[in-house]
Amino acid sequence: MSSSTPSQEPTSSENTNLKPEECLSNSERRNDKKIVCIHCSSIILSFFNRPGDSIWLDGDEREMPMARQKKGGDLTETEKLQGWWTVADMFTFENVGFTNSVDGIRYLTCADCDFGPIGRVTESNLHIVAPSRVKME
């Protein structure tokens, strides 16, 4: 005699905290979910309109300014992040803003609420988005 418990569907709030490896659709490591702003839920990258346009890149540790800075501080607080959603063409994004160059780096922000940086443009003109700065649905 075996007992089974009914499976429960996750709620939508549980779906928005997916890990990148849970969003990979195939061996090419392409995204199969929407990537949205963690503050306003504006769509940053939409799987439905452009399937697989973002590719997961492991490693590649880079420093990014913290999204929230302490007031009165003279230095910009940063954190080291690794693992990125990569996008080759800036027109792939649904709603993303680009900052002016800061020390030679252009950062990505949410175009609707200005939260960011959520990513940056690399030296090779690749656009990278930090999964800890967005949510996936």
Q: Could you state, in order of their start, the residue ranges of all structural domains in the chain?
A: 12-136
How far are the Cα atoms of 88, 105, 123 from residue 12, in angstroms, in the given order?
30, 35, 37
What pLDDT, in 10s, does the model give residues 19-69? Answer: 666 555 555 677 777 889 999 999 998 866 565 678 888 878 999 999 888
Whole-number pLDDT of residue 49: 53
Average pLDDT, the chain: 80
**Winning range, highest mean pLDDT, from 12-21, 69-78, 82-91:** 82-91
Q: How many CA atoms lie within 13 A of 83 on its CB side?
A: 8
Q: Which CATH number fits domain 12-136: 2.30.30.30, 3.40.1710.10, 2.170.150.10, 1.25.40.90?
A: 2.170.150.10
Are the CB atoms for 110 and 118 separated by under 8 Å? yes
Residue 66's φ and ψ, nearest 5 degrees, are -65, 150
Helix or strand holding residue 15 (H, E): helix 12-15
Reported confidence tier of residue 3, pLDDT bands at 50, 70, 90: very low
